[in-house]
Structure 1
């Protein structure tokens, strides 16, 4: 099934999530209109600016009530390299600052584990499903990563990446610092934590023509490296 060229009216605060989704829509062939009446799809992004009248698609943080929308994407644990507020993932910026500050005392606390999903994978899925040729699906789709990552595993990975970065800047690399880099996959969370139901997401991706269904591609390590890079510019 192919994606349609649709006219889209976007609602929401223009934060990093909004801009990433707008960019992905444009690259998929969507065009934009300022007039709701001229749009094939009305998409609201974030917790603010949600209309009371029914819209076509809502992309919301997982911790807010469902809006009046035919299709709702509830986004859990989204990894956005730029600092972003209102999506329940402010802890990522707190951890970045803690690691850059020397990892002194105890790190900022968070829940036991999260199912992190990179913004590129999230927006790719939203666009794939929303622009599918034919009627847009209806209902609620939870969007999250497939694997759980403990806070300790993410912090260990952050410290390793930051140490490698500072070693490169100060030309202080050693053989050990360049070779002793375990795979993040070996540190995944092995405790008990409930994962959002990803079956509707997987099935919607299959129905839209994505043969592998829901299969996020961006590695955790890549997302964290991008987060450090953006933190240097902010």
Structure 2
């Protein structure tokens, strides 16, 4: 019988951390969080916990021991006052995975971790550091303020937060070691101008729905995203991150590779809801 997994989650959780925990609650494991997050997370996921075979407990009662897995999110807040002051999180026999956004200019010494997951062009459900997307933030700011948005030729390998969280959860529970560096990004690239048009349509519909001021323009908007794949020539200016290590690790984890399932419109809608709340 396989031993029950024990995963410590630390760092700058944000909405990505919450999405990872929500995904892990579908499995059967012990989720250990820092004391300051323990009560809040149990309240946040109280409904899921009623039906889950997993639990969320505090590192005060469950220190890091050999055989545990440690997931570090972001760039700070990795330690707890209950850690062994001599070793911190560096306990022998522990697998440590660091997850950071790829576009941050902070230099990272990943020598103390077993794997480093780099997140590219994620569409967050809440735009909080360090998981915010500055390009999407600029787009929504221009819409809210009614200003023109200076569309550049930027190409993004967009991926929804829920798909990123799913991949992280599957890899943290894998019985196989992960690659030293794993890139997580969308499989297809989208032009920034097309993404702005889609976000603009969603924003206008949302505002119209709140005010009741619908027009034929809102009702006749396309029901599917007006987004086209960019050509190979266009993509050359922004080479796709190497997704082979991610795909291989996921195949080893559960037999299924990297197949993000969330449409870009759904990801943008979740982002918009987070911004408007």
- Structure 1 length-normalised TM: 0.84
Per the alignment, residue 48 of structure 1 pairs with 76
Structure 2, unmatched stretches of 5+, are 33-58, 79-87
Q: Which moved more, 1:77-86 or 1:14-23?
A: 14-23
C-alpha displacement at 1:23, in angstroms?
2.6
Aligned to 2:72, what secondary structure does the other structure show? Answer: strand
Distance in 2 between residues matched to 1:229 and 1:216, nearest whole Å: 21
In structure 2, distance between residues paired with 1:146 and 1:94: 24
Q: What whole-Å deviation, never above 9, does each CA across 1:151-198 have from its counterpart, x for those lacking one?
A: 111111111111222233333434443233163363333312200011
Q: 1:215 maps to which residue?
A: 259
Q: 1:7 touches 1:38 (CA, 8 Å); kept in 2?
A: no
Aligned-residue RMSD, C-alpha: 2.6
| Residue segments in structure 1 that go unaligned for 5+ positions in a row | none
* Residue of structure 2 aligned with 1:118, choices 160, 171, 193: 160
Among 205, 209, 213, the residue aligned to 1:164: 205
- Contact in 2 for aligned 1:8/1:39 (Cα 8 Å): no
Aligned to 1:81: 125
Q: Is 1:144–2:143 an aligned residue pair?
A: no
1:164-183 equivalences under 5 Å are 164-181=205-222, 183=224
Does structure 2 conserve the Cα–Cα contact (< 8 Å) formed by 1:12 and 1:48? Answer: yes
Larger Rg belongs to: 2
**SS of residue in 1 equivalent to 2:127:** coil
Question: In 2, Cα distance between the equivalents of 1:5 and 1:76?
Answer: 31
Is the CA contact 1:4–1:131 (under 8 Å) kept in the aligned structure 2?
no
Match of 1:27 in 2: 26
Matched-pair contact (CA < 8 Å) for 1:46–1:60:
yes
Q: Which moved more, 1:39-48 or 1:3-12?
A: 3-12
* Maintained 8 Å contact 1:153/1:189: no
| C-alpha distance in structure 2 between counterparts of 1:105 and 1:175, whole Å | 23
